[in-house]
Structure 1
Amino acid sequence: MSSGFHQIDYKSPIGLIEIIGTEEAVCSIMFSEKAEPENFIGSDTPKVLELCFHELDEYFKGTRYEFTFPYTFEGTDFQNTVWTTLKGIPYAGTSSYKDIAVSIGNEKAIRAVGSANGKNKLSIVIPCHRIIGSNGKLTGYAGGLWRKEWLLQHEKNFKK
């Protein structure tokens, strides 16, 4: 980890999640193929990472539907627009690449929306798992389709 960045690992029901951030904000929440956590909350862990850890834990327990910890994402203007739009997909809801393209005023940008979706570094919080194909079928997910299916079912099970 380069200077200024901290990392903790969260052991979720669907694999290890690496949380990376600074004193001010979380910048990455990604699934890892590591079997066991290597980075734990310690006295030098920024409060924002601890908050992210606890909010993810509540999400997986089915008691949290929105995230409040500070986070940041960096991408092109187009990617930022797509990621901001993804945040509007409600808990347990779904949308398609085409729906997102239409909602940002560029209905021909379906593939570009898919590409931006695949570059999202804030898994679960920027809910790219809620994107499905226009035909209702599951489409690619960086964390694996089985995780996407699990997350969608989890949210349906706990939806208020």
Structure 2
Amino acid sequence: MEQFVMYFDQLTCPESFPWHFANIVATNEHIIEVMFSNTASEINKNKITELCKQQLILYFSKKLTTFCLPFISQGTRFSSTVYDELLKIPFGVNTPNLVHY
């Protein structure tokens, strides 16, 4: 069973972003949250936050199109369904007509 210790790290976002930071929250084994914000977070990093940070850097520089991170989806059944659907959106797709009923 995983010990519930929280780790925090942050990445400064590219200048083209409306936010200044990507704040990363993780446990010993999983990413819990990546939140874009204009507020810096505390730093208490571990190997999981470092891995996330490295992959975000590669993603922002267009060298990575698919993340390979251990993460836990938190929330209601509905929000978990939404997260699962978001994971199906291909890299670079940005359209309001993406959803098909």
TM range, smaller chain: 0.7 to 0.9
Q: 4+ runs of 1 displaced by more than 3 Å?
A: 94-98
Q: Deviations over 1:83-110 (max 9, x none)?
A: 101110101113548826x2xxxxxxxx
What is the RMSD of the two structures over their aligned residues, measured on CA atoms?
2.2
How many residue pairs get aligned? The number is 94
What is the letter of the counterpart of residue 12 of structure 1? C
More helix by share: 1
What is the letter of the counterpart of residue 7 of structure 2? H
Whole-angstrom CA distance in 1 between matches of 2:95 and 2:38: 28
Whole-angstrom CA distance in 2 between matches of 1:96 and 1:23: 36
Task: Indicate which of 13, 22, 26 corresponds to 2:31.
Answer: 26
Residue of structure 2 in register with 1:7 after alignment: 8
Q: Which has the higher contact order (CA 8 A, sep 6+)?
A: 2
Residue of structure 2 in register with 1:80 after alignment: 80
TM-score (norm 2): 0.80
1:89-104 pair list within 5 angstroms: 89-96=89-96, 99=99, 102=101
- Alignment CA distance shift 1:75-1:96 (3 Å): farther
Whole-angstrom CA distance in 2 between matches of 1:16 and 1:79: 24
1:8-157 pair list within 5 angstroms: 8-13=9-14, 14=17, 15-34=20-39, 38-39=42-43, 45-96=45-96, 99=99, 102=101
**What is the Cα deviation at residue 22 of structure 1?**
0.4
Q: Deviations over 1:115-147 (max 9, x none)?
A: xxxxxxxxxxxxxxxxxxxxxxxxxxxxxxxxx
Whole-angstrom CA distance in 1 between matches of 2:55 and 2:94: 21
Taking every aligned residue pair, what percent have the same amino acid on both sides? Answer: 27
List gaps (5 residues or longer) in structure 1.
103-160
List gaps (5 residues or longer) in structure 2.
none
Whole-angstrom CA distance in 2 between matches of 1:73 and 1:53: 18
- Alignment CA distance shift 1:52-1:20 (3 Å): same
Whole-angstrom CA distance in 2 between matches of 1:61 and 1:37: 23
TM-score (norm 1): 0.52
